[in-house]
Each structure stands twice: as structure tokens, then as C-alpha cells.
Amino acid sequence: MTVGTKMHQTLSSLESATSTLKTFALETQDKGAKQMFSDYAKQLEGICQGLQGRVNYIEQQEPQYKVFSPEVSDK
């Protein structure tokens, strides 16, 4: 497994966790828990943005680490 693949998997997992926390925040009636879940989701969003920036940088510097490369069709 390449570094690029591992970073994309990590990013995907963090985005999933962020979505789950947002869902918890929406579903709970407890105001304290709602705020906590929202705060954690915001923190994870910041981490995701930072990691995405790193992924972009690595893919720019080392194109072989690109996981999703657009293919051009000659149709």
C-alpha cells in the first residue's frame, strides 16, 4: 500500500467520523452533548483540511502517489 493510498484512507476515515459526529449532534436532545459533538466535528474538519493540504502537496511533488488520476478518453 502506497503512502498516497494510506493518506486517502485516513482522510476518508476522518471524514466519515466527522459525519457521524454531526449526526450525533443532530439526533441528541442533550444540549451539552450536542455542543460537544459539534465541537469535535469542527475539530475533525480542521484536521481533514490540513491532511487534504498535505495530500495535495505530496501528489504535486510525487505524482506516483496520486490515488485518483483522471483518465482522458479518446471517444
- Using CA atoms, how far residue 42 sits from 37, 64, 75, in Å, is 9, 32, 43
pLDDT by residue, tens only, the chain of 75 residues: 778 889 899 999 999 999 999 999 999 999 999 999 999 999 999 999 999 999 999 888 887 767 765 554 444
Q: Domain limits of the chain?
A: 18-63
pTM: 0.80
Is the CA virtual torsion 55, 2, 74, 60 positive or negative? positive
How far apart, in whole angstroms, are the C-alpha atoms of residue 65 and residue 2?
A: 7
Residue 25: the pLDDT is 98
